[in-house]
Copies of this chain bind each other. A is one copy, B any other.
Amino acid sequence: MKARVLVMPRSGVLDPQGKAVAQALAGLGFEGVAAARQGKVIELELAETDPAAAEAALAAMCERLLANPVIEDYTIEIA
């Protein structure tokens, strides 16, 4: 089973990369980009076949390793 974890800076937490991306897009002449935030995405190939069990395992992985709860939020997407 394939799964995807999105890890984004929590709202309110400064995101220097996102800010720089938004500015660079404006500099290249792309108008109408009000804001950008940058995070990371991790695509995983899991042996687990049960979606609920996979989701639980992924949540545990996020808590333990993939996301830093102090500054990041995560979302789990199962294919």
- The count of identical subunits is 2
**How far is B37's CA from A39's CA once the two chains are assembled, in angstroms?**
14
A79 proximal to B (CB < 8 A): no
Nearest CB of B to A50, in Å: 11
Of all chain B residues, the one with the shortest Cβ separation from A36 is B44
CB neighbours (8 Å) of A6 from chain B are: 41
Size bracket, chain A contacts: 20 to 34
- Enumerate 15 A-B pairs (CB-CB under 8 Å) in ascending A order: A8-B41, A21-B42, A22-B44, A28-B61, A30-B60, A31-B47, A33-B45, A35-B45, A36-B43, A36-B45, A37-B42, A37-B43, A39-B41, A39-B43, A40-B41
Binding site for B on A (CB under 8 A): 6, 8, 18, 21-22, 24-25, 28, 30-48, 57, 60-61, 64-66
